[in-house]
């Protein structure tokens, strides 16, 4: 099995696998599943295939393979496959998974099913998983794995090495965690230091005591920022009293970053980050209908504003032609500011301390762009309609709408977040409504007042 496949190779394997499925070549399909593709690549093929192909391919995987593939599937597909299994089947399929992956899956199940699975687990495994389930999924406690190796500060490196030879080594091990008698976190012992220093050296002499533990209640976005800023491969997780609870590894953080990026892109269109590209038509239609309905309402709000100026539009037809220009310019300017602010909030660069300064800066940008493009659009209007007064009206409307747009784009994310509404999901819809209404109202209102 290739250790890594690039996208081109993966597409080639996927095409061959689909061909084997269509031909009913069971031996060839089984070889792909057993030898050619890693679990993460099988998961990619499943997510990239229509429903019928998914069902066929899933049947070729044994329980162990299904358990290896499940953590790499999106939440929607995980739930779909797990819902087809009994509690006993789920336990058999997932028994070799890391405790954090297992806890994540249990959170996707119906409460009754997850309780049955927990009851069937060995007591030690159940206690470990229940400890993880006590924390929200989007916190450090929900991300952590309790499979850690701890050592005392007063032992020698030779003792540590003997200890390591006798036990199973967890994945992504780059350091051991130093604890006191009460299991309080003391420091970090990098594997590199363990292997390169004299065996007679004590852990205390070479451990890194300046690496702070991450509180279990820390939000996953903050965890990702900590890993990024300090170039971490793993980090300790502690409770409020400094007791070591587990560790977070970089593979879990990469999942957080990917999900955050997916959320930022998909939410702009009113979609969930776990939206299944190959889901049945009716299901996809139902998922998207809500935001289409909301958009319809906001569109009618803008239309209602325009309807108040029907008489003006009837007398000056150019108003109907130019109104979308004013609204569109405001929408683009506002979206730029909104995106910048949401990204800044996500990276931790923007907070309430520098918000006022940033709003002032964005208003400056809006004013400068407003003057620039007001001049351009006014010139085009004069050439098109030979009407200086109409050009002056649209120039004023452009400036006012751009200033309104950047002000709304800069302040909306904080206002929405303060009432616990996701600004990435709903900000663009509200912003579009504001820029459309203000744009139409300003342009048509000024035209009615000065030109009629």
What digits encode the pLDDT tens for the residues 207-263? 998 889 999 999 998 999 999 888 899 999 999 999 999 999 998 898 888 887 776
Distance between CA 100 and CA 107 in Å, rounded?
Answer: 11
What was the pLDDT predicted at 435? 95
Dihedrals phi, psi of 348, to nearest 5 degrees: 85, 10
The whole-number pLDDT of residue 151 equals 95
pLDDT at 337: 94
pTM: 0.72
**276 pLDDT tier (thresholds 50, 70, 90):** low
User: What's the gap between Cα 1 and its chain centre?
Assistant: 31
Given pLDDT bands bounded at 50, 70 and 90, which one contains residue 2?
Answer: very low
Distance CA 355, CA 357 (A): 5
Q: Kindly report, residue by residue over 336-355, the tens digit of the pLDDT.
A: 999 889 888 877 788 788 88
Closest to 93 (Cα-Cα) out of 125, 58, 61, 64: 64
pLDDT of residue 224: 92
Question: Binning pLDDT at 50, 70 and 90, where does residue 10 land?
Answer: confident
- pLDDT, residue 281, reads 78
Question: Looking at residue 271, what is its pLDDT?
Answer: 63
Residue among 159, 158, 155, 128 nearest 144 (CA)? 128
Tokens of 434: 């504001």
CB 377, CB 395: distance < 8 Å: yes
DSSP 3-state of 180: coil
Mean pLDDT of all residues in 142-171: 91
Judge whether 252 and 143 are in contact, CB under 8 Å.
yes
Percent of the chain with pLDDT over 90: 46
pLDDT one-digit tens code per residue, 366-411: 999 999 999 999 999 999 999 999 999 999 999 999 999 999 999 9
List the single range of 162-176, 275-289, 322-336, 414-428 with lowest mean pLDDT: 275-289
The residue to which tokens 């010139």 are assigned = 379
- pLDDT tops 50 at residue 358: yes
Q: How far is it, in rounded angstroms, from Cα 333 to Cα 434?
A: 12
Structural domains in the chain, CATH included, are: 7-135 (1.25.60.10), 150-267 (3.10.580.10), 281-451 (1.10.357.20)
Cβ(318)–Cβ(387) under 8 Å? yes
Residue 16 pLDDT class (50, 70, 90 cuts)? confident
Q: Are 32 and 41 in contact, with CB atoms under 8 Å apart? A: no
Q: What is the pLDDT at residue 1? A: 44
Phi, psi of 230 (to 5 degrees): -105, 5
Tokens 């002000």, residue located: 407
Instruction: Answer yes or no: are the C-beta atoms of 399 and 371 closer than 8 Å.
Output: yes
d(CA 138, CA 398): 42
8 Å CB contact between 206 and 193? yes
The span from the CA of 210 to the CA of 188, in Å, is: 8
**Arithmetic mean of pLDDT, 58-87:** 87
What are 231's two structure tokens? Answer: 């170039």
Q: What are phi and psi of 269, to 5 degrees?
A: -105, 10
The DSSP output letter for 321 is H
- Three-state DSSP state, 178: strand
> What sign does the dihedral 381-384-389-393 (CA atoms) show?
negative
pLDDT over 70 percentage in the chain = 95
Across the chain, what does the average pLDDT equal? 88
**Mean pLDDT, to the nearest integer, of 154-161?**
95
The rounded radius of gyration (Å) of the Cα atoms in the chain is 29
Alpha-helical (H) ranges within 95-219 are 99-108, 111-120, 123-133, 140-143, 157-165, 191-196, 203-206
Q: How do residues 284-320 score in pLDDT, each as one tens digit?
A: 787 778 778 888 898 899 999 999 999 999 999 999 9
Measured CA to CA, the distance from residue 434 to residue 409 in angstroms comes to 10
Compute the average pLDDT of residues 279-286. Answer: 75
């Amino acid at each position: 099995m290739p250790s890594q496949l690039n996208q081109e190779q993966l597409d080639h394997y996927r095409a061959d696998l689909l061909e084997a499925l269509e031909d009913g070549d069971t031996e060839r399909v089984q070889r792909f599943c057993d030898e050619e593709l890693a679990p993460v690549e099988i998961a990619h093929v499943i997510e990239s295939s229509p429903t019928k192909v998914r069902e066929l391919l899933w049947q070729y995987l044994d329980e162990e393979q299904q358990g290896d593939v499940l953590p790499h599937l999106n939440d929607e597909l995980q739930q779909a496959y797990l819902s087809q299994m009994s509690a006993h089947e789920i336990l058999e399929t997932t028994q070799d998974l890391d405790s954090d992956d297992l806890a994540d899956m249990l959170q996707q199940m119906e409460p009754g099913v997850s309780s049955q699975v927990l009851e069937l687990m060995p007591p030690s495994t159940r206690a470990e998983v229940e400890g993880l389930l006590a924390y929200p999924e989007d916190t450090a406690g929900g991300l952590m794995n309790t499979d850690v190796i701890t050592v005392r500060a007063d032992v020698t490196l030779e003792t540590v090495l003997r200890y390591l030879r006798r036990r199973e080594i967890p994945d992504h091990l780059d350091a051991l965690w130093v604890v006191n008698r009460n299991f309080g976190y003391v420091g970090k012992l990098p594997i590199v230091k363990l292997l390169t220093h004299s065996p007679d050296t004590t852990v205390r002499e070479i451990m890194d005591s300046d690496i702070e533990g991450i509180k279990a209640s820390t939000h996953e976005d903050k965890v990702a920022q900590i890993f990024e800023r300090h170039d971490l491969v793993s980090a300790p997780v502690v409770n409020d009293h400094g007791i070591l609870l587990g560790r977070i590894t970089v593979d879990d953080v990469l999942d957080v970053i990917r999900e955050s990026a997916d959320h930022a892109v998909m939410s702009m269109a009113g979609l969930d980050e776990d939206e299944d590209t190959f889901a049945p038509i009716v299901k996809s239609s139902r998922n998207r209908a809500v935001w289409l309905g909301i958009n319809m309402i906001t569109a009618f709000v803008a239309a209602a504003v325009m309807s108040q100026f029907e008489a003006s539009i009837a007398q000056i037809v150019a108003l109907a032609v130019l109104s979308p220009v004013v609204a569109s310019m405001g929408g683009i300017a506002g979206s730029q500011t909104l995106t910048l602010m949401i990204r800044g909030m996500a990276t931790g660069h923007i907070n309430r301390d520098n918000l006022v300064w940033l709003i002032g800066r964005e208003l400056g940008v809006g004013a400068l762009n407003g003057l620039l493009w007001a001049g351009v659009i006014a010139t085009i209007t004069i050439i098109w309609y030979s009407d200086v007064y109409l050009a002056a009206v649209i120039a004023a409307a452009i400036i006012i709408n751009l200033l309104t747009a950047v002000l709304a784009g800069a302040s909306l994310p904080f206002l929405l977040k303060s009432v616990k509404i996701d600004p990435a999901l709903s900000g663009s819809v509200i912003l579009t409504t504001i820029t459309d209404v203000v744009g139409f109202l300003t342009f048509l209102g000024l035209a009615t007042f000065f030109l009629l």
